[in-house]
Chain A
Amino acid sequence: MLNYIWAGLIVSSFVFALGHDIRDIAGDRYRNGRPLPVELSFPEGHDPAARRVPVEIRIEPGEYASFYGTGQRPAASYAGYLLQTREGVQLRFGAGAKLPEPLATIAKASRSRDEELQGRLLGLTPPERVQGTGLATAMTAVVFEPVRFVKMSAIAAAALDFAKTGAEIALGLIGVLALFLGVLKIAEHAGIIYALVKLVRPILRPLFPEIPPDHPALGMIALNLAANVFGLGNAATPFGIKAMEELQKLNPREDTATNPMVMLLAVNTASVQLVPPVLLLALLGLQINRLIFPIIITTVLSLVVAIAAVKLFGRLPGVRASDPNRNPPPPAAAPTA
């Protein structure tokens, strides 16, 4: 199942990105290579010899709308500057300008430094001074860098970015994992886990019938569930991992999930918590007080569904056949005593 979902995510993202980009090209969404008329004014005058000349950029909204075929409107004016080199004159919009689509996408895709939207100016007639205002203005046109395959580069960037994030998240867990796994080892040596097993056995046995009655896995599962209930995600993860390790000791096939493993996972993804996540509190503030009741109802109902789903799906012939306990590995693969 996970194989298909995973491949489905990757393949469909490629297909959708390609479709989006082909539509862009077919509709010439970015008007690649065609000049957009702009009006420049020079608050500090125009010095043809200066490398950098500050300008104010005005785009006529009607012209913009018909040029790009969009309903979005540009702002009244944008701060920017001219970069005058021997190769020509480049117009740059100031970083952080609130650009309308599709200019915003062009700015992101044109790979300039600091996310400044940049384009080549087509001919700059020397600005004339407007009588009375003292401002020099000039009409000209700008050609932006051609933009192609926006989504294709977006999915590539996202993949690289999140590969890094994945490793960072995992490594970021080291400290917390070490802390709680250390304390759990003390609990194991002190016999706390066994005491806990006796305590929770009547409740957890029906959910995890495959676990032997005195196995420490039940104690770890109890700790994991308790941490979840109190909204302590930091502690719940190490406890859950430790519980998985205990369950793995009972597993005859080490690459295949056993029924109790699937149950533990389902109970965790359904996430029974009486204390709402801190993140939600941060996002919604005091609103959360009125939402606690619906959250608890929903989470308990979905827990019931999760347990029922694990038990029901567990009876499907294909799932039954893959149960490591029903179908232990061939003797050749099993470690000999």
Chain B
Amino acid sequence: MNELRDAVNLLSYFVIPLILVGFPLYGLYKRVPVYESFVEGAREGFQVAVRIIPYLVAILFAIAMFRASGAMDFLTLILSPVLGLIGFPAEVLPMAIIRPLTGSGSAGIVVDMVNQYGEDSILVKMAAVMFGSTETTFYVIAVYFGAVNIKKTRHAVPAGLTADVAAMIFAVWTVRLLFG
């Protein structure tokens, strides 16, 4: 396991340089006007970023309001007895709720939990595994669908949230299994 991890880690240093150098180099070999092609493609960067703005603002402000209102505490309050039945600790519930909503918010929760329970605690491990194994679902939806102006997301949200819920439960179980 360690060797695999080291190899992946080592590779991850080279992936971006390889893409940035390798693609143009291969392009030269194929007699592509590399500079012109690059500029042609890069021009899109601005349009894509601007296209994303309305989607990102829509998602982020709604989530920020929700967090500021204290509704999260209420959600934690009503969900924790239900989730307690499947062995889901109430202390990591805020993490599980916030993770799909905001990346910075959930990182803040990891910091809080480290301060509160200590680095070695099993609760911090659960929260960290949750953080590391999932993405900020709503941000990804806003950016990826926003970039192509998709407004009707169909089953993307339910599927993404189902996977998130599963990841949170798996995180608790695997940490329990390995460290419990």
Q: Which residues of A contact B (CB under 8 A)?
A: 1-2, 5-6, 9-10, 12-17, 20, 151, 154-155, 157-163, 165-167, 169-171, 173-192, 226-227, 229-232, 234-235, 237-238, 240-241, 244-245, 247-248, 254-257, 261-262, 264-266, 268-271, 273-277, 279-280, 283-285, 287-288, 290-299, 301-303, 305-306, 309-310, 313-314, 316, 319, 322-323
Contact = CB atoms under 8 A, between A and B. Distances in A.
Nearest to B137: A269
B159 A262 contact: yes
15 contacts: A5-B157, A14-B69, A158-B61, A167-B53, A173-B49, A177-B44, A177-B45, A181-B42, A182-B42, A186-B41, A237-B143, A256-B150, A257-B156, A269-B140, A306-B160
Contacts of A299: 132-134, 167
Contact of A166 (B61, B149, B162): B61
Contact of A184 (B41, B65, B67): B41
A228 B23 CA distance: 19
B110 A280 contact: yes
Interface string B70-93: 110010000000000000000000
A283 B69 contact: no
Given A16-B71, A154-B68, A6 B58 contact: yes
Interface of B: 1, 5, 8-9, 11-12, 15-16, 19-20, 23-24, 26-27, 29-30, 32-34, 37-46, 48-50, 52-53, 56-71, 74, 100, 103, 107, 110-111, 114, 119-120, 124-125, 128-135, 137, 140-141, 143-145, 147-160, 162-164, 166-167, 170-171, 174-175, 178-179
Contact of B155 (A5, A245, A262, A295): A262
A4 to B, nearest CB: 9
Given A279-B131, A298-B167, 10 more contacts: A2-B141, A12-B71, A16-B71, A158-B65, A163-B61, A165-B60, A173-B45, A255-B151, A268-B135, A302-B163
A168 to B, nearest CB: 9
A261 B145 contact: yes
B163 A244 contact: no
Contacts of A170: 49-50, 52-53, 56
Given A9-B63, A183-B41, A294-B174, A241 B48 contact: yes
B153 A274 contact: no
